[in-house]
Structure 1
Amino acid sequence: MLFTVLAGLITSSLLIPFGKLIKTKWSILLPFIPVVLFLFYVMHVPSIAEGTNFVQRVNWVPSLGVNLDFRLDGLSLLFALLITGVGTAIFFYGRTYLKGHIYFDRFFGYLLLFMSAMLGVVLADNILTLFIFWELTSISSFFLIGFNNDDKSSRDSALTALSITGLGGFFLLAGLILAGNIAGTFVISELFMKHEVLTIHPLYPLIIGLLFIGAFTKSAQFPFHFWLPGAMKAPTPVSAYLHSATMVKAGIYLLARFTPILGGTDLWSISLMVVGGFTMIFAAVHALFRIDLKGILAYSTISALGVLTFLLGLGTPAAIIAASVFILVHALYKATLFMVTGIIDHETHTRDISVLSGLRKVLPPVFVAALLAALSSAGLPLTFGFIGKDLIYEATLHFNENWTIWLTLLAVLTNVGLVAAGFMAGIKPFAGKLPSAFSNIHLPYPSLWIPPLVLAIFGLAFGLVPGIIGNYFNHQTANAIAGIETDMHLKIWHGFNLVLILSMATLLAGTLLYVVNKPSSSKLQMLARFDGLSPQAIFRRLARGLKDFALFFTRRFHNGYLRAYHLKIILFAELLLAYKLWLSGPISIDFDSLTPLSWYEVVIVAILIGALYIIVSAKSRLASVVSTSVIGYCMCLMFVFYSAPDLAMTQFTIDTLTTVLFVLVLYKLPGFINFTSKTVLMRDALVALGFGAILSLIALRVLFEPNTTEISNFYGENAYLLAKGKNVVNVILVDFRVADTLFETVVLSIAALGVYSLIRLRLKSSEKE
């Protein structure tokens, strides 16, 4: 499993030196990477179907509990098959769609990076490993959404998506660490046994709240949904892959994975039902007003994600079964419709359904794929979508007698909207008379229309043999989500019952709504009147407020003077340390236990005070530098008196070197100092005296604190065993320096990227002006 996760990362890095070859004859090799990975996971289907799980443990940072642990069970297998299977279709499709593009190699580098990140998310058995790959999906999707970087709207959409999902990732990390610390383990498979420990803990509401924010932002739940329609600025292969089958379902995967760990409570269920229920009806209604094919598919995707969240909130075995099936149903028909949309846009250069019609005459195979996908999304009998919708109604009808009618009505209204939206995207562009402007359109390369046609056929074939599909793909998925045996048995025909009546009524009502509904620009403008109240507008106002605050803060506290920075840093440290001292209570000093002062200590302190006076009063820079060096040498003598010759030598060397450098630097400056006002001098003196007093109090408190040796014992016992060092002090220094160097390396790397970008920047003549 580790190799399958790293395969995309390795190949993506190889595209940097060999990108030119990929742009030419070797691009045919790219789609075979997901093909091989898909076959690898297909080989595990029989074993997983029998209930066998596979685990791989790879030590990474075991001392911090961060390991590359991977686990393949029913849930992770379904998502791995979607990631690699739909990924195969997208790679073949995208290779033709972007043929000749200047950034062809870059696109597939990003796509491979994203595929590996998604596999890492669904296979991870360590919550910190899961988070690392989770963030990698956000970063790689940022590059994919903003792929057309010459377009400002694409850049803005990418930044919006990264901001929302990145913010969610921050909250998710906090929730995961909190859960791991409470449970005493970061291994997900071990957390299953900590259900009671977590759900009865006082911080349980905070944990699931943080987890929900992470999941809702990634899966575009209200009010975080608005980034997904904006992300439609990405090339169509990106929309078909990220926004139908993979990335947006990462949040659904997270909720499904943690259902047996944190679920089963009213707070969990009601929260998901409310958010998912509102999202699915809200987005289904919005989809009916759109005239852009990608806009229709974006809002119908949000609605479908709301349905999945809603089902996970219901939490009954029937609802879990429905969710496990609908994940597959939605991926098949939505990826198909996105790819069909790309073909239409590629050939007609428009996605406006008020203009498109009659394309069945010039794009017959594309029409077949779109029709099959639209019928599956509508839930026509003998399609896999029919099974999915039946199971949704089965879940709502058998939930709670007090809520049955309302939950079922909500599901019916949502599905009616999704039926109409599916027909708008899959049938409307192909129905009616062919405009003369499109009469010269020709069928594109087979590699463009075969992938969506194959996925659409799967949507039909799976509906004809649902029992086999359920046994091999969905049964163990449902078991993994529920944490118990769900006893799944999918059938084409369950008899003439209320569920069937609701399915047929939904299909008829959705078809009627499709016929009656006439989306137009005027209706969109009418809807735009309420944009000021939308979550997107609210988030933008918050972002502007944050930007204004940052500007005020920067102007007030970052004025460019080093002395001002020093003053603020020292003042903040004083306040923080003084507050801590105040919380610790009064300081009691046992003067009898203190060593009497010796005459040489008194002399050295007197010299120190004299040197300090010269520093603050001398008008000569050279005199101040020399006095500073005197203080350093006095410190050296103190170290010698207290049996620390190594520190004394270090202090002597550094102080001497610093003095020489100061003299060299000040050589060209005026010899005398122009003092500032007495008020400023008094302020600086008070700050300095306060800092010294606080440090003295801290030293006294440390001196009389009880001596605990837990940390000393730990390093003494483990310095050689873990770090292979016999000198404990050196081991401690190395540990701290490693952490320090790590962050320094990150900072330098970011700076290097910025410098490289500026060096390689090629501005247009208008931009230079």
Structure 2
Amino acid sequence: MLFTVLSGLITSGLFIPFGKYFRTKWGAVIAILPILLFCYLLQFIPVISTGITLYESYEWVPSLHINFDLRLDGLSLLFSLLITGIGSLIFIYASSYLKGHSYLDRFYGYLCLFMASMLGIVLSDNIILLFVFWELTSISSFFLIGFNNDHADSRKSAITALSVTGLGGFFLLAGLILMGSIAGTYSIGQLIESASIIKNHELYPIVLGLVFIGAFTKSAQFPFHFWLPDAMKAPTPVSAYLHSATMVKAGIFLLARFTPILGGTSAWSYTLMIVGGFTMIYAALHSLFRTDLKAVLAYSTISALGILTFLIGIGTQEALIAAITFTVVHALYKATLFLTTGIIDHETETRDLSKLSGLRKVLFPVFIAGTLAALSSAGMPLLFGFISKDLIYEATLHSEQHLALYLTIAAVLTNVCLVAAGFMAGIKPFLGNLPQQYEKVHLPDQSMWIPPLILALLGLAFGLFPAVAGYFIVSPAVTSMSAETVNAHLQVWHGFNTVLLLSLVTLALGSILFLYNKPDSRKLTLLVPLNKVSPQNITKKLFKKFVNFSAWYTNIMHNGFLRSYLLKIIIFAEALLAYELFIGGSIYIDYTQLSPISIYEAVNVLILIAAVGLTVTTSSRLTAVVGTSAIGYAICLMFVYYSAPDLAMTQFTIDTLTVVLFVFVLFNLPSFINQANNKIIIRDSIVAITFGTLLSIIAIKVLQVPTDITISEFYGQFAYTLAKGKNVVNVILVDFRGLDTMFEIVVLSIAALGVYSLIRLKLKSSEKD
């Protein structure tokens, strides 16, 4: 399993030096990787279908309980097969769709990174490891969505997706750490065993809310859904992969994985049913107003994700079976519809439904694939979507008695709209007369139309033989979400009952709605009044306010003047010190414990004060330099008085060198500018005197604290025996604190190089301007 995850990461890195070899027709060769991974995972189906879970563990950061722990159970196997199986077809499809693109190698690199990240999420058995891959999917999807980086819309969409999912990731990390702290482990297997502890903890509602935000942002649940339609600016292979089987399903996978840990409570169930229910209805209705094929698919995808969240919220065994089945159904038909949309756009250069018709005459295999996918989406008998639709209605009808009617009505309303949306995307472009401008349209390369046809035929195959999918795929996945073994008996025919009636009514009403809902861009104007309260518009307003606040904060706190930075740092330090002295501690000083002040100490202090006064009041830079040197030498005398000759010599050397350097550069500095007025002088004086007073109080109080010489004795005892040095101070700096000293030297070296570069810099007259 480790190689399964790392192979994509390694391959992605190899595109940096060898990517140029994959910009030609050999680009399709890279599809071998997901194909091999898919075949490797297929061999585990017989083992996993018996209820066995496979584990692998590798030490990573054991001190923090973070290991590279992997698990392969029914749920992770299902998603792994979707990721690699559909991924294989996407790689093949992209080799023709993006043929000749100058950045094709980058695309494959991003796609490999994304595939590996998704595999890492679904195979992780450590929640911190899961989060690492969770963030990698956000980063890699950012590059994929913004692949056409020369278009402003693509860049904006990529940033929006990264911002929303990244924000959700922040909250998710907080929830995962909190959950791990409560249970005392980050292992998913051990968290499942500690589920009762987590659910009964007082912080459970907070954990639940944080995890929900992470899942909802990733899986585009209302009100975080708006990033997904914007992400349709990405190339069609990206849309087909990210928004059918992978990225948007990561949030669904998270909810499914955490069902045995956090599920089963009212807060879990009602939150998911409300959010998922509203999302599925809201998005399904919106899909009917769109005329862009990708927009229709985007909103129907959001609706489908809402259905999955809704079913996980219901939480019964029937609902979980329906959720897993619908996950597979949706991945198959939605990937197909995206790929057929890409072909239509590629050949006709438009996705406008009001302009497309009659394409079956020139794109017949694509028409077959689109029709099968649309019929599966609608729940036509003998297709896998029919099984899924029945299971959804069974789950709602057999839910809590007081909710069954309302949940069923919501499901029917959503599915009626999705039937119409599926027909709009999969059938509408192929019906009617062929416009004259499309008569020369022809089938693209086989590598483009065969992948969607394969996916559509898989939907038909699973519809004819649902027991195979039920036993080998659905049952193991639901078992991993439940506390008991589940046998999902999927059948083509369930007899004449309420469920069948609802399915037929849904199909009939959806077909009627499709016939009467003519694509017209003018319908979008009906939604304009609602834009003011739309989540997207509210988010934009909040973003603008945040930008304005950031600008105000930057102008106040980061105005580019060093004196301003020093002033704020000192004021903040004063506030902390004052709080500790006056609130957290005591300012009382026992002056009887202090030694008397000698005459030479008093004279030295007077000289120091006079030098400070001269430095801050003179208008001559040279005089200021002399004043600062006098301050330094006065401090040297202080060290001598208090028996610290080594510090005095160090201070003397540094001070002398500093004065010399100042004098050398004095003539190259700009004219002395004194912009201070009386108010600024008074302000700075108060700040300086306050800071000096606080430090004086602290220094005096330190003298009255009993000295602990344990550390001093340690250094004195072991300086020679361990470090072979007789000078204790040198040994501390070079050996015991050698790492600190090394970084200090590095910082000084970098600063020196910077200063030297500026001194040696010679600009042309044009560059100076």
TM-score class normalised by the smaller sequence: 0.7 to 0.9
**Which residue pairs with 1:663 in the alignment?**
663
Cα distance between partner residues in 1 of 2:223 and 2:417: 20
1:273-672 paired onto structure 2 within 5 Å? 273-587=273-587, 608-629=608-629, 631-632=631-632, 655-669=655-669
Q: Deviations over 1:471-493 (max 9, x none)?
A: 22222211222344334332223
**Which residue pairs with 1:143 in the alignment?**
143
Label 1:471 to 1:596 Cα distance change in 2 as closer, same or farther (>3 A). farther
**Which residue pairs with 2:95 in the alignment?**
95
Cα distance between partner residues in 2 of 1:739 and 1:515: 72
**Which residue pairs with 1:246 in the alignment?**
246
Q: Deviations over 1:241-277 (max 9, x none)?
A: 0111101111111222222222222112111111100
Question: 2:304 is matched by which residue type in structure 1?
Answer: A
Q: Deviations over 1:185-212 (max 9, x none)?
A: 2233222233233223332222221221
Label 1:675 to 1:552 Cα distance change in 2 as closer, same or farther (>3 A). closer
**Which residue pairs with 2:230 in the alignment?**
230
Give 1:232 deviation, angstroms. 0.8
Give 1:64 deviation, angstroms. 3.5
Aligned 8 A contact 1:370 1:456 in 2: yes
1:53-72 paired onto structure 2 within 5 Å? 53-72=53-72
Cα distance between partner residues in 1 of 2:586 and 2:671: 47
Give 1:581 deviation, angstroms. 4.5
Label 1:67 to 1:380 Cα distance change in 2 as closer, same or farther (>3 A). same
Question: 2:203 is matched by which residue type in structure 1?
Answer: L
Q: Structure 1 residues 233-242 or 201-210, which shifts more?
A: 201-210
Q: Deviations over 1:527-555 (max 9, x none)?
A: 23322221111111111111222223333
**Which residue pairs with 1:691 in the alignment?**
691
Label 1:462 to 1:629 Cα distance change in 2 as closer, same or farther (>3 A). farther
**Which residue pairs with 1:50 in the alignment?**
50
Cα distance between partner residues in 2 of 1:128 and 1:731: 36
Give 1:92 deviation, angstroms. 0.1
Which has the higher Rg, Structure 1 or Structure 2?
Answer: 2
Give 1:424 deviation, angstroms. 1.0
Label 1:659 to 1:212 Cα distance change in 2 as closer, same or farther (>3 A). farther
Q: Deviations over 1:281-321 (max 9, x none)?
A: 00001111111110110000000000011111111222122
Aligned 8 A contact 1:73 1:477 in 2: yes
Cα distance between partner residues in 1 of 2:164 and 2:120: 21
Aligned 8 A contact 1:621 1:671 in 2: no
Q: Deviations over 1:573-593 (max 9, x none)?
A: 323443454542434556677
Q: What SS class does the counterpart of residue 68 from structure 2 fall into?
A: strand
Label 1:76 to 1:625 Cα distance change in 2 as closer, same or farther (>3 A). farther
Give 1:518 deviation, angstroms. 1.5
Q: CA RMSD in A?
A: 3.3
Residue 20 in structure 1 maps to residue 53 in structure 2: no
Cα distance between partner residues in 2 of 1:742 and 1:359: 67
Aligned 8 A contact 2:471 2:487 in 1: no
Cα distance between partner residues in 1 of 2:468 and 2:374: 23
Label 1:255 to 1:49 Cα distance change in 2 as closer, same or farther (>3 A). same
Cα distance between partner residues in 1 of 2:39 and 2:412: 38
Label 1:643 to 1:292 Cα distance change in 2 as closer, same or farther (>3 A). farther
Q: What SS class does the counterpart of residue 105 from structure 1 fall into?
A: helix
Aligned 8 A contact 1:121 1:130 in 2: yes
Question: 2:113 is matched by which residue type in structure 1?
Answer: L
Give 1:643 deviation, angstroms. 8.3
**Which residue pairs with 1:718 in the alignment?**
none
Cα distance between partner residues in 1 of 2:711 and 2:63: 16
Give 1:329 deviation, angstroms. 1.1
Q: Deviations over 1:486-509 (max 9, x none)?
A: 343322233322222222221222
**Which residue pairs with 2:762 in the alignment?**
none
Q: Structure 1 residues 394-403 or 300-309, which shifts more?
A: 394-403
Q: Structure 1 residues 522-531 or 539-548, which shifts more?
A: 522-531
Gaps of 5+ in 2: 716-730, 749-769
Label 1:581 to 1:274 Cα distance change in 2 as closer, same or farther (>3 A). farther
Q: What SS class does the counterpart of residue 67 from structure 1 fall into?
A: strand
Residue 7 in structure 1 maps to residue 7 in structure 2: yes
1:694-709 paired onto structure 2 within 5 Å? 694-697=694-697
Cα distance between partner residues in 1 of 2:747 and 2:136: 19
**Which residue pairs with 1:260 in the alignment?**
260
Q: Deviations over 1:689-734 (max 9, x none)?
A: 222333445556777789999999xx9xxxxxxxxxxx99889857
Q: Deviations over 1:176-231 (max 9, x none)?
A: 22222233222332222332332233322222212211111111111111111111
Q: Structure 1 residues 150-159 or 78-87, which shifts more?
A: 150-159
Cα distance between partner residues in 2 of 1:421 and 1:512: 12
Cα distance between partner residues in 2 of 1:497 and 1:211: 39
Question: 2:327 is matched by which residue type in structure 1?
Answer: I
With normalisation by structure 1, the TM-score equals 0.88
Cα distance between partner residues in 2 of 1:129 and 1:700: 50
**Which residue pairs with 2:220 in the alignment?**
220
Question: 1:243 is matched by which residue type in structure 2?
Answer: H
Label 1:130 to 1:434 Cα distance change in 2 as closer, same or farther (>3 A). same
Q: Deviations over 1:732-752 (max 9, x none)?
A: 8577799999999xxxxxxxx
Cα distance between partner residues in 2 of 1:671 and 1:290: 66
Matched residues, percent identical?
61
Cα distance between partner residues in 1 of 2:645 and 2:463: 82
Label 1:370 to 1:572 Cα distance change in 2 as closer, same or farther (>3 A). same
Aligned 8 A contact 2:51 2:485 in 1: no
Label 1:191 to 1:623 Cα distance change in 2 as closer, same or farther (>3 A). farther
Give 1:339 deviation, angstroms. 0.2
Label 1:278 to 1:622 Cα distance change in 2 as closer, same or farther (>3 A). same
Question: 1:419 is matched by which residue type in structure 2?
Answer: V
Q: Structure 1 residues 427-436 or 486-495, which shifts more?
A: 486-495
**Which residue pairs with 2:203 in the alignment?**
203
Q: Structure 1 residues 444-453 or 195-204, which shifts more?
A: 195-204
Cα distance between partner residues in 2 of 1:732 and 1:375: 73
Question: 1:30 is matched by which residue type in structure 2?
Answer: I
Aligned 8 A contact 1:149 1:155 in 2: yes
Cα distance between partner residues in 1 of 2:595 and 2:471: 81
**Which residue pairs with 2:75 in the alignment?**
75
Q: Structure 1 residues 475-484 or 144-153, which shifts more?
A: 475-484
Q: What SS class does the counterpart of residue 429 from structure 1 fall into?
A: helix
Q: Structure 1 residues 591-600 or 385-394, which shifts more?
A: 591-600
Q: Structure 1 residues 522-531 or 617-626, which shifts more?
A: 617-626
With normalisation by structure 2, the TM-score equals 0.88
Q: Structure 1 residues 438-447 or 617-626, which shifts more?
A: 617-626
Cα distance between partner residues in 1 of 2:178 and 2:387: 39
Cα distance between partner residues in 2 of 1:265 and 1:420: 35
Q: Structure 1 residues 380-389 or 305-314, which shifts more?
A: 380-389
Q: Structure 1 residues 163-172 or 237-246, which shifts more?
A: 163-172
Q: Structure 1 residues 553-562 or 159-168, which shifts more?
A: 553-562
Q: Deviations over 1:406-439 (max 9, x none)?
A: 0111111111111111111111111222222222
Cα distance between partner residues in 2 of 1:318 and 1:736: 61
Q: Structure 1 residues 557-566 or 580-589, which shifts more?
A: 580-589
Q: What SS class does the counterpart of residue 402 from structure 1 fall into?
A: helix
Q: Deviations over 1:628-650 (max 9, x none)?
A: 34555666676788888887776
Label 1:58 to 1:235 Cα distance change in 2 as closer, same or farther (>3 A). same
Label 1:236 to 1:701 Cα distance change in 2 as closer, same or farther (>3 A). farther
Cα distance between partner residues in 1 of 2:711 and 2:189: 31
Cα distance between partner residues in 2 of 1:458 and 1:327: 14
